Amino acid sequence: MREWNQLEYPALLFCSSFVGFVSSLTRREIRGREIIKQIYECAVMSIPVISFSLGIVSLMSVLEFSWHMRVVLRQDALVPAFSLVLTIREVAPVVTAMLLASRVGASIAAEIGVMKITEQLDQLKLLAVSEVDYLLVPRWLGCLVANVALTLISIGIAGVVTIFIGARWMGYQPGEFYNSLLLFTTGYDLAGALVKSLCFGTLIPFVSAGYGLRCALGSQGVGEAATQAVARSSLLIIIIDLFINSLWWMP
């Protein structure tokens, strides 16, 4: 029952935020400056760590594929094609979301938790300002746009690293390596990655905000809320990834 309540509350926050966003669109009261600020903090500030991490992970996958294929098949000509499929379907959307959850999710939970224990949320209520419209909608849209953009950037960085570094280590020319990249990759794979990034980008802010809004008083409560937000978001990312894979690619 407790686990269900922890999932039910973020779902309620999402429904309230969606209704508030649609209502703001009809009234033309979108807080564009705040949304741009959230996109900058979520996307631009996360590019260095995500770019470096995805480059390393993609390079490791190429080297592992190459080693196993040389042991079993005595040749590794199909390594670029396999590595790109793995990157688009799994590595780019999942690793990007995990890193974003650890950086942005903890920040959202801690920020909203501090606002709660310092009674800033009560002040919003006294001013008849909806905490969902004021706090959650900009962070949701910012995280959503950021996760999609960072996923696409991650795919591009992984491809570049694979071509220019992995090819050199494996003894291929970059042109030869590039020619075999798209053997098994289709637009359907990219669409699946975008669906994952949309789901993860929606999941992270609402799970994190849920823990921030219900955190205990004191600095320890804020710290526990941030920790639980990252842990729960990461677990749900893995579960949703398995669910999307079973619907999108499995026969």
Q: What are the domain boundaries of the chain?
A: 11-16+30-246
CA nearest 203: which of 243, 235, 226, 245? 235
Sign for the pseudo-dihedral over CA of 182, 185, 190, 196: negative
Burial 42-59 (b: 16+ CB within 10 A, else e): bbeebeeebbebbbebbb
Beta-carbon-side half-sphere exposure of residue 145 (alpha carbons within 13 Å): 15
pLDDT number for residue 8: 65
Residue 93 confidence (pLDDT):
92
Distance (Å, whole) CA 217 – CA 196: 35
Phi, psi of 142 (to 5 degrees): -65, -45
Each residue's pLDDT expressed in tens, for the chain with a length of 251 residues: 444 455 566 666 666 666 665 666 566 666 778 888 888 888 888 888 888 888 888 888 877 777 777 777 777 667 777 778 888 888 899 999 999 999 898 888 888 888 888 888 778 777 777 777 778 888 888 899 999 999 999 888 888 877 777 667 766 666 666 666 677 778 888 899 999 999 999 889 888 888 888 888 777 888 888 888 898 889 889 989 999 988 888 76
pTM for the full model? 0.84
